[in-house]
Structure 1
Amino acid sequence: MANQQNLKISGMLNQHEFIERYVFTKQRVMNGFTRPDLAFLLGRIPNDVADYEHFGAHVKMSYQDHEVMAAVFKKLAPTTPIFQARANDIDISNDKRMIRGTVLETDAQRVYDFIHPWKIKGEDKPITIVEELDRDMTQDAMIRAFVEEHLAQLKAQGCFEHGCTALFLYQQLSGLICKSWQPLFLKILRVSIYARIHAQEIRVHQVNGQTIYKTKP
């Protein structure tokens, strides 16, 4: 029997905050990035993306985060829901309201269902996002060989002596890898970098708010 998890989420958001999180989740899914992989590119801890998508008030996306996403998301932003912004001639778009939802996850899919208090075209309409989680594991050995070869080349060129961001590494390899492996290779890149950190070959530094991977202190 397939594994299944059903998580209930809720948060107090205004229309602008909800749309921002909806667009974030939808774009991540449309562009094929997993939560941990996008967190790696953003230089954030793995749980940050999940917490943001689950309406965690403690997680905010910075201007720098949006710059990274603009660089890696190739598909345009989705059409956003148009909520009724006024009631009794009063602007309600900035009023924080309770948003509730569920995240149903199986081995194959993650389904977000959001229940919000605003009308869309005069109707109460929930919002759903479906994320496919299946991965073709048969390609992973070839992708791993590609990633390891090019990380070794970057190390030989001295890139890690000066320090590399995850975005830099992703862009270097993305320009060389075949289209069908994008962004699948990002998971293997992330795991490979973390393995080097665990082996103390690479150290993590914070420089001007950016996460930098370096071989030297």
Structure 2
Amino acid sequence: MTLRLDAELEREEAYAPRSRRFWRALDYLWGYMPSYRDSRAGRQRARQVKVGLAVLGVLAMIFGGSVGPIVLGALAAALAIAAPVRELKKRSVHNGLRARAADRTRPVREPGSVVFDGRRLELHTEQTMLRRVLVDRPGRELVFRVHGETICAGLRPRSGKKRDAIWVCASGLHADDVPVAYAGRLADLSEQEVDVPANVSANDWRRLIETLGEVIQ
């Protein structure tokens, strides 16, 4: 007989920040910033570039004759104040801008289900099966943890990796709902152990643990 429990899954969803185009454009422009190696020759070259930009900017503003060249000259003169920069600083700013443009994650909740057919425990979304753990495989482990006001049962395969484990949690439980054989091991649930907890009702959690207990010795 197959046991199917309605669950609410907690997951991390990747998304693109709204400001991504801005940070990418800024990173692109920063790529044109003159830079120099932090060495004697590099510092000498940096001074030459700084003087060259300043002179070019002043000449353009004086002899430009129209708005365009004058504006460009002002920009070149202003750039001479900050440029060139050390290569290490340029790479550091590049990394910072790219980090701001990178995908971010946010917690989301979605409906799902926990399915146990007597041989395997499966975790499903509405569209697909996320993972399964075979209960009769050597090395699998049933553990219990506390997470705030919830108690969680985790079925972990031999790999021990959180992306392979299935964790089922419920609130409204008590310590005596945990099987006696595991009652003394209620440590706090760590983020290193779980990535997609499945939240079910207290009664469904008890049904699942009772059914698992008939199979797992």
TM-score (norm 1): 0.20
Q: Counting strand residues as a fraction of each chain, which structure ranks higher?
A: 2
TM-score, length basis structure 2: 0.20
